Amino acid sequence: MNILAIETSCDETGIALLEMSGTARAPHARVIENLVTTQIPIHRPFGGVVPNLAKREHLKNLPILFGQLREKHPTLKPDLITVTVGPGLEPALWTGITFAQALAKEYRVPLVGASHLEGHLYSFLLSQEKARRGRGRGAARAQKNIFPAIALIVSGGHTILLKLDSFSKWKRLGETRDDAAGEAFDKVARLLALPYPGGPEIERIARAGNPAAIAFPRPMLAEKNYDFSFSGLKTAVLYYLRDHAADKKLSAAMKADVAASFQEAALDVLVKKTIRAAADHGARSVMLSGGVAANQALRARLAREAKKIGAAFFVPDFKYNLDNGAMIGIAGYMAFLRKKHYKIEARGDMEI
Ligand code: KG4
Ligand code: ZN
């Protein structure tokens, strides 16, 4: 079935066309088009996403991206249209929903609501086609003996640990009690006068720093639960900078050490708690997704630690880590198969 998917929950406008097949136990995705326009340069001067600007840009970008899609595929006739209904910024979500409703009417096909977080969760399946052609070996095994699985979803708005018994059945083990992991990267980047979004910037300058230079706290690491907390870590960075850079002039070397030590502390907690959850639940695989999953150090460390406990490791290709339409295509297909019937209205705080 051909699915047209629309994503506008935050600062990326995404439209994708996928050919989906298979069952809810073994879904198969072939991405035909995955068009994404990022709004990062628009929001950068404000140091974060401005909801009304996001809405304005989505309104502008949706017809442009759809026009490109139709130009490439003049005979386009989707069997189903899916759109992110939450979680995200409500004014932004509504732009995608309204656009999708009009398209569903035009094509006379069903419209299915999709969860942005389920999109991240399933995003590693987008690399399957490549695996079938013999390149990424990991995903080829994707549907065999991988459950129970532990999934870590880390983005700008969420830090969630799930235990999955199948692609349709999961339980939330834990989540952040305050800031999301990506939010912590973004806030620390701001303290270091680095541009938004901070995650890639922290990772870039951390390469020149010493991760053991500063002993930042590892919040909640020792606690016997699967929750996270990142606001104390951010505050520790703030105090460190206040005490050690009173004149607000940070040398490049000091910035690099702060970035590397902060990243080390954040990754320590994320990796150790995820692996503990995997070991406690006898997980056969560990799945990593969300914008922060673009972090190479996190990918490498979690892959290494998963291997040590005999679990397979799945992570999407880099291009599918940040928000995109293709991941919503899978989430919509799964919602359709699972008869989830999410209400077609923006739900900013929708849970997984
Ligand atoms: O999933 P996403 O695109 O949007 C949300 O759903 O929130 O994630 C964006 C987040 C931002 O906080 C950004 O700083 C973070 O992902 N991020 C990273 C990296 N690339 C993006 N964090 C750490 N390291 C990275 N390389
Ligand atoms: Zn996201």
For residue 156, the ligand closest to its alpha carbon is: 1
Residue 34, strand partner residues:
16
Question: Quick one: tokens of 164?
Answer: 């999955």
The closest alpha carbon to 333, from 102, 29, 68, 15, belongs to 29
Residue bearing the CA closest to ligand 1, atom 16: 291
10 lines ligand 1 (CB under 6 A): yes
**Closest approach atom of ligand 1 to CA 9:** 6
For ligand 2, the distance from its centroid to the CA atom of residue 82, given in whole angstroms, is 16
CB 198 less than 6 A from any atom of ligand 1: yes
Question: Taking a C-beta distance cutoff of 8 angstroms, is the pair 82, 333 a contact?
Answer: yes
pTM: 0.94
**Ligand 1 atom at minimal distance to the Cα of residue 295:** 26
Ligand 2 centroid to residue 179 C-alpha, Å: 15
* pLDDT tens across the length of the chain (352 residues): 999 999 999 999 999 999 999 999 999 999 999 999 999 999 999 988 999 999 999 999 999 999 999 999 999 999 999 999 999 999 999 999 999 999 999 999 999 999 999 999 999 999 866 555 544 444 444 567 899 999 999 999 999 999 999 999 999 999 999 999 999 999 999 999 999 999 999 999 999 999 999 999 999 999 999 999 999 999 999 999 998 876 667 889 999 999 999 999 999 999 999 999 999 999 999 999 999 999 999 999 999 999 999 999 999 999 999 999 999 999 999 999 999 999 999 999 999 9
What distance in angstroms lies between residue 37's CA and the mean position of ligand 2's atoms?
14
Is the distance from the beta carbon of residue 291 to the nearest atom of ligand 1 less than 6 Å? Answer: yes
User: Closest Cα to residue 238, out of 211, 209, 216, 220?
Assistant: 216
- 142 in ligand 1 pocket by Cβ < 6 Å? no
pLDDT at 127: 82
Distance between CA 95 and CA 58 in Å, rounded?
A: 7
Residues 6 or more apart whose CB falls under 8 angstroms from that of 21 comprise 1, 27, 28, 30
Please enumerate in sequence order all residues whose Cβ is within 8 A of that of 27, keeping only pairs 6 or more positions apart, or say none: 20, 21, 122, 125, 167, 330, 333, 334, 337
Predicted pLDDT at 140:
45
Ligand 1 pocket test, pick from 185, 192, 196, 317 with the greatest ligand atom count within 8 Å of Cβ, gives 185
pLDDT score at 137: 46
For ligand 1, atom 8, the nearest C-alpha belongs to 291
Q: Is the CB of 203 under 6 A from ligand 1?
A: yes
| Residue 47, pLDDT score | 87
Regarding the beta carbon of 295 and ligand 1, being less than 6 Å apart is answered yes
Q: Which residue's CA lies nearest to atom 13 of ligand 1?
A: 199
Distance CA 341, CA 337 (A): 10
Q: State residue 328's pLDDT score.
A: 98
Angle at 189 between CA 187 and CA 190, to 5 degrees: 65
Mutation test of ligand 1: which of 37, 38, 155 has the most ligand atoms closer than 8 Å to its C-beta?
Answer: 155
157 close to ligand 1 (CB < 6 Angstrom):
yes
Residue 135 exposure: Cα atoms within 13 Å on the Cβ side:
6
| Ligand 1 atom nearest to 158, measured from its CA | 7
Cβ-contact 22, 99 below 8 angstroms: no
Work out the burial of residue 52: count CB atoms within 10 Å of its CB; fewer than 13 is exposed, 13-18 middle, 19 or more buried. exposed
Measured in degrees and rounded to the nearest 5, phi and psi for residue 21 equal: -150, 180
For the chain, domains (ranges, CATH) are 2-137+318-338 (3.30.420.40), 147-283 (3.30.420.40)
pLDDT at residue 136, as a whole number: 45
Residue closest via CA to ligand 1's atom 3 equals 322
Q: Are the C-beta atoms of 233 and 179 separated by less than 8 Å?
A: no
> Which of 192, 203, 322, 349 to mutate to test ligand 1, by most ligand atoms within 8 A of the CB atom?
322
